[in-house]
Structure 1
Amino acid sequence: MATVHNTKPLSSRTVETMKPGDKIKSDTGENIGLRVKCGATGLKTFFYRYTSPITSKLVQVKIGNFPETSLAEARLKLQELKQVRRQGRCLASEAKEEKWQKQQEREQDQELELGQRSSVEKSFTVEKLVELYLTQYIEDRKSPSGKVIAGARKPKGQSETRRTLYGDVIPKLGEMPANAVTRKAVVDMVMAIVQRGANVQAGNVLRELSAAYEFAIGLGYFSDEFANPAILAKSSLRQAKMKLTHQRGKRVLPDTELVALLKWLPGSDYTATQNVLRFTLWTGCRTGEVCNAAWKDIDLKKRTFHIRESKTEVERYVQLPSQAVEFLKTLRLITGDYPFPS
């Protein structure tokens, strides 16, 4: 931008009326070196232009913006800067040096932070990842006040999840840093489970390991660039058409076999087991639901069985057939709180 060399000193009015596109205006007399420019947004800036005593090149230093910095204040600051220049110092060079120094400090801080994070991540093994997931999410835990906080799973599910992870994940990957586990390492672990014929267990292991990683990622245990290796492995196995779910049952009892079974059960051994099987056949309930049945959930008058806890976590009422009602009336006389005690 061109400069207008004034023969008259700058005035507040001159600065105030400057518009975008106007040439840079300069002061005169003892204030020579003071300049003001109006930017494209209309912002007016005072700066000191001088020859550096160090590089012998023309440089400039910002003084302030108008009207926050008045013309009188800019002139006072100018005299201070000139005094510094007379001492052989170059403020522009010092500002660049300070900026470079701060950049170096930021880079060093970032390197230190990365080093510390790397050290922490190396000590955060897969076993610690699993324990974090189990103790802070899946299982019941106590608050600082001593109050018990229910886990995400019921007691049976808690023990099954711990057994699943400690049975297959910990022996293979437990000592590895959690951030060093690769897609291939997870795929190899899952395929080893598949090779022993436990496809469903392989799917369970992969699901729980993936959930453990997601839990830790959510708590900030990994960098923003980290990718869940279990999710990556799941994608690879899906592409390979690897089935990790149970096969739908194909064997069913035809009517003739069902009749034969119902006739055979009353005279079979293991009374408790035969009672569960008979009630299961009459109602179509899961054997686990039958074993957990309590008399408080059974209404013989309304002929209903209230299932409060099920595999799908949805409670429901089951209508009881007449055979089941008569059978329960007999059991009521010889059992306590539960019709099918273990």
Structure 2
Amino acid sequence: MAFDARAAKLLQPGEYLLIGDCPGLRLTASEERRSWAYRYKSPVDGKMRQVQIGRWPVMSPPAAMIAWEALRSRRDAGEDPALAKKQAKAAVVTKKKEDAYTVRRLCDDYLAGHVDVHRGESSRKEMRRLMSKHLDAIADRSAQSITRSDAFDLLESMASTPVSAQTLRGELGAAWDYALDAGRLPDSVPNWWRLVMRGRLKSKGKSRGGVKIGTIKRVLSQTEIGTLLRWMPKLTPLISDALTLYLWTAVRGVEIMAMEKEEIQEERDGWWWTIPKRKTKNARHENATDLRVPLVGKALAIVHRRMSLYDGYLFPAPTKLGHTKQQVIGTSVARRMSYNTVQVERNLEK
């Protein structure tokens, strides 16, 4: 191979020196360096391409010729060396992006972009608690690397709490759908959370006194309602008023505790409690309306009495919400049940 080192040194930026015995091999010049390159017609799409080989004088002419022969052989075999190099770099970049998009980031995106926008405060807190508690094993892994067995193992480890497992399964399925829709995961990534353990995460019902009582729900009989009403005077005014409103209005405890004076109005056909849509369970539904509840009998008497005592919330409390939480009522009633072991233990300690 004839090579003129003096001519190579005199090359100006943008100029090149052809190597006659090696078709396509050239020495190109820039402001900073001189580099060996192989220019050829791509066998893939017929376009002219150029691939860098090395720098001169670090790479000697004989070494450049050896590298050129290898590239030319690949080209003659139908490969496009420059295109292959470009695709390899793109694959590395894609791999880094895939590795960077972890399960933790995917869940954070879902919580911020969907849950925080469309859910209430209690639901937002519960979703964060659930994911924070159960995802440690896979949180820092690439979301794309999660396999069917990974999803199965996680849900299987929660078999003792099937309701929580079922909730987490649904939320992770929604999170993966959210990432796929947003283009943060390739379309080829399967959403295993929608497929594994389907129909197998079923609650066995709550336990009462150490005995499973099943999942069947029932209503109080007339006799039981009578017993409850006779039992009311033993309760505090707060609990008694709340339980009475449960019975007389059939409204959820969350809405009863958040009742406000301005929501109570006397109309031509009697007294009405108008619960704003934003306070109801249907708040997320576009076509839902305010909930209208008639107030009669003991329910009306309780509301009038509390309206005379309080402005704003009728069940006020020094909490962040400004009113008593529904859990306070449920817990207070549960502690008075005969099957409540905590209450029994407390009585034995007295």
**Structure 1 length as normaliser, TM-score?**
0.61
Distance 1:303 1:172 in 2: 55
CA contact (8 A) 2:166 2:201 kept: no
Distance 2:112 2:185 in 1: 19
> How far has the Cα of 1:244 moved from its partner?
6.3
> 2:230 matched to which residue of 1?
263
Distance 2:302 2:259 in 1: 14
* Structure 2 spans left out of the alignment, 5+ residues: 1-22, 24-39, 50-79, 206-213, 317-323, 325-350
Structure-to-structure mapping, 1:230-309, within 5 angstroms: 230-233=193-196, 236-238=197-199, 241-243=200-202, 248-265=215-232, 267-301=233-267, 302-308=270-276, 309=279
1:311 to 281, 298, 303: 281
The answer to whether structure 1 residue 213 and structure 2 residue 176 are counterparts is yes
CA contact (8 A) 2:272 2:295 kept: yes
> How far has the Cα of 1:101 moved from its partner?
6.3
1:184 to 133, 136, 149: 149
Q: CA 1:250 to 1:155, structure 2 compared with 1: closer, same or farther past 3 Å? A: closer
SS in 2 for 1:173: coil
Distance 2:150 2:194 in 1: 12
Percent of residue pairs bearing the same amino acid type? 22
Distance 2:204 2:259 in 1: 29
CA contact (8 A) 1:202 1:244 kept: no
SS in 1 for 2:137: helix
CA RMSD of aligned residues (A): 2.8
The answer to whether structure 1 residue 166 and structure 2 residue 132 are counterparts is yes
The answer to whether structure 1 residue 152 and structure 2 residue 118 are counterparts is yes
Distance 2:118 2:204 in 1: 23
Distance 2:114 2:42 in 1: 52
> 1:107 matched to which residue of 2?
84
2:192 to 229, 236, 248: 229
1:335 to 291, 296, 310: 310
Distance 1:232 1:152 in 2: 25
SS in 1 for 2:123: helix
Distance 1:100 1:330 in 2: 88
The answer to whether structure 1 residue 123 and structure 2 residue 123 are counterparts is no
* Structure 1 spans left out of the alignment, 5+ residues: 1-88, 140-150
SS in 1 for 2:136: helix
**Structure 2 length as normaliser, TM-score?**
0.60
> How far has the Cα of 1:100 moved from its partner?
7.3
- After the TM superposition, which segments of 4 or more aligned residues of structure 1 sit over 6 Å from their partners? 244-247
CA-to-partner distance for each residue in 1:287-327, whole Å, 9 max, x for gaps?
11111111111224432221222223343211222221122
Distance 1:245 1:134 in 2: 29
> 1:51 matched to which residue of 2?
none
> How far has the Cα of 1:205 moved from its partner?
0.6
**Count of matched residue pairs:** 233
Distance 1:321 1:122 in 2: 62
Distance 1:259 1:326 in 2: 19
Distance 2:302 2:273 in 1: 13
Q: Which moved more, 1:216-225 or 1:274-283?
A: 216-225
Q: CA 1:270 to 1:192, structure 2 compared with 1: closer, same or farther past 3 Å? A: farther
SS in 2 for 1:193: coil
